[in-house]
């Protein structure tokens, strides 16, 4: 039974269920989902792309990857893309920060672990 609980705990983190079920983090996750869905709907409607292509473009633009395989062709969608490019960076950073806080990851802890590792490495040489 313990192993089943461990698998559920792992899967809940993989699928961000812990973020969704937490009252403090749920709003940013919902806002991100709405922003991505709204963007996909706009590109689907304005550019005539498939739903998959539209969602793909919004995610790739929001994460600043930008492969260049899809690009806006009308002035309206170019302006929307500028908004999504800037807004996407903010959304991704907010989402990462919320996940970091919820899961107890702290920059100070990582720095301390690196210093301890370096100290142990210098003592062994």
Distance CA 125, CA 72 (A): 57
User: In this predicted structure, what is the pLDDT of residue 63?
Assistant: 86
| Integer Cα distance of 113 and 75 in angstroms | 50
Q: Which residue from 45, 51, 33, 43 is spatially nearest to 71, judged by alpha carbons?
A: 43
The residue ranges of every structural domain in the chain are 2-124
Q: What's the pLDDT at 121?
A: 82
pLDDT attached to residue 73: 94
Estimate to the nearest angstrom the gap between the alpha carbon of 51 and the chain centroid.
20
Q: Give the residue from 29, 15, 80, 30 showing the smallest Cα distance to 54.
A: 80
pLDDT score recorded for residue 1: 46
Tokens 């709405």, residue located: 34
CATH number (3.30.365.10, 1.10.287.70, 1.10.1420.10, 1.10.10.10) of 2-124 reads: 1.10.287.70
Containing 86, the helix (H) or strand (E) segment is: helix 75-102
pLDDT of residue 4: 56
- pLDDT value at residue 8: 60
Query: In the prediction, which pLDDT does 57 show?
Result: 95
Which residues of the chain are under the pLDDT cut of 50? 1
């Amino acid at each position: 039974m313990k192993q089943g609980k461990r698998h559920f705990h792992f899967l809940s983190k993989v699928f961000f269920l812990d973020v969704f079920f937490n009252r403090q983090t749920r709003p940013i996750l919902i806002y991100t989902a709405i922003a991505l869905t709204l963007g996909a709907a706009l590109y689907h409607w304005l550019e005539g792309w498939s739903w998959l292509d539209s969602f793909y473009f919004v995610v790739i633009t929001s994460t600043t990857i930008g492969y260049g395989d899809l690009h806006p062709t009308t002035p309206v969608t170019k302006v929307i893309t500028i908004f999504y490019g800037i807004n996407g960076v903010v959304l991704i950073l907010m989402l990462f920060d919320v996940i970091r806080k919820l899961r107890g990851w702290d920059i100070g802890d990582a720095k301390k672990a690196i210093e301890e590792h370096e100290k142990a490495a210098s003592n062994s040489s």
